[in-house]
Amino acid sequence: MILIYGCLCALLCLRVVFYRRQGSQYRPLAALLAYAIAVASGTEALRAALGVLPTPSVADLVLHSVLLLALIASRGNVVELFHTSTAENAIYRLIRRTRHAQE
């Protein structure tokens, strides 16, 4: 179970790290969120590889699997994790903010 969890965390980290904006605007809060996900999941993968991670529960595996599937579906775009088709929620609006150019 630790091996599966470690692989899930490594894949999460890699999916976020290899995201390419392809011309879209830089969003500082989204970048910070992506960085936090990459560091947290990368740390868990490393701890699993070193054998210092306690055995994860089935709930941990399910949560990480769902997050990984969501990131794969959004091509690694963490902003899209909070986007809804009907209305923009407050979290999406906050993360979507861009840095304003100084005039």
Whether 103 is covered by a domain: the verdict is no
Whether 47 is covered by a domain: the verdict is yes
If phi over 0 gives left and psi between -120 and 50 gives alpha, with beta otherwise, what is residue 40? Answer: alpha
16 is written with which tokens?
Answer: 């976020």
Q: What is the pTM of this model?
A: 0.77
Whether 45 is covered by a domain: the verdict is yes
Residue-level pLDDT, tens digit, the chain, 103 residues: 999 999 999 999 999 999 888 877 888 888 899 999 999 999 999 999 999 999 999 999 999 999 999 898 888 888 888 776 666 666 667 766 666 544 4
Whether 91 is covered by a domain: the verdict is yes
Residue 6, domain extent = 2-96
Whether 73 is covered by a domain: the verdict is yes
How many structural domains is the chain composed of? Answer: 1
The DSSP result for 5-70, as a single string, is HHHHHHHHHHHHHT---TTPPP-HHHHHHHHHHHHHHHHHHHHHHHT-SPPPPHHHHHHHHHHHHH
Whether 101 is covered by a domain: the verdict is no
Whether 46 is covered by a domain: the verdict is yes
